[in-house]
Amino acid sequence: MTAPFPSFEAGPWAAAAMIAAVIVSSTAGEVLTAAAMKSIGDLDVIRARSGMKGAIRAVITCPLFFAGVSFLALAFFSLLFALNHLNLSLVAPAAASLTLVTNAIAAKLFLKENVDRRRWTAAVLVCVGVYFLAH
Amino acid sequence: MTNLPGISLAHPGSLIAAVFTPWVAVGIALLIGFFASYLTALSWADLTFVLPATAFGNVIVALLARFWLHEPISIQRWAGIVLITVGVGFVANGPSLTERPATQVATAKQPSTAVEEEPVR
């Protein structure tokens, strides 16, 4: 990557790669953040015990949380990069809806969440709905 | 942001100044509020429960655009609103947290409860 970015006409493979980068980094960010919050424990309980400051300290002293936020930031910047080369009407629905499905897969694989038929149905319905809404 | 004068990379200071514009500042404060609530929800619910549920925000945005900003909404978008609402209804009827065996929960909670007494749940 050299600055200033060459303005190229992105082919289908380049477009797919850019959208894939957004989806992969955002899924990694969501899963790491969720894992961090599970490792910290119920924030309402922590806040009841040691106050708002204690709850904030519990979050910002968790390394997993910063790993998650870094990936979310990476997802944001790769989204900006994709928007620089592709149309908003392609990137926004694709990125917003596909992350729901990849997150369900990643949550089942890495967080060992119980993704039953009800949750699969919800993920797919919301995915299609977001696609329609963002298109 | 569209009301502000154009921001160029040659003057990054103008981007900092934009942060203190009232509307942008309110937007940032609300985003911080969103992230805090999102993290709190993730601390007691599954990711596959929280993520579809937060997608309901898209429906609220579309309805605000329709009834406050008077933007037209196509049939396709109404279909999207219905699908998201049904999907959220589906996931909200189920359990919010995966049931774990008691031993696994005990080891997972050890760091936070090692010093203090067991919280009443």
ipTM of the complex: 0.83
pTM: 0.78
Whether A88 contacts chain B with CB within 8 A: no
**From the candidates B34, B39, B48, which should be mutated to test the interface with A, based on the most A CB atoms within 10 A?**
B48
Question: In chain B, how many H helices and how many E strands?
Answer: 6, 0
- Give the tens place of pLDDT for each residue, A12-25: 889 999 999 999 99
Cα separation, A102 vs A96, in Å, equals 11
Cα separation, A126 vs B81, in Å, equals 9
Per-block average pLDDT, block size 10, for chain B (121 residues)? 69 78 90 93 92 89 90 90 90 82 50 42 43
Q: How many CA atoms lie within 13 A of B54 on its CB side?
A: 19
Whether A40 contacts chain B with CB within 8 A: yes
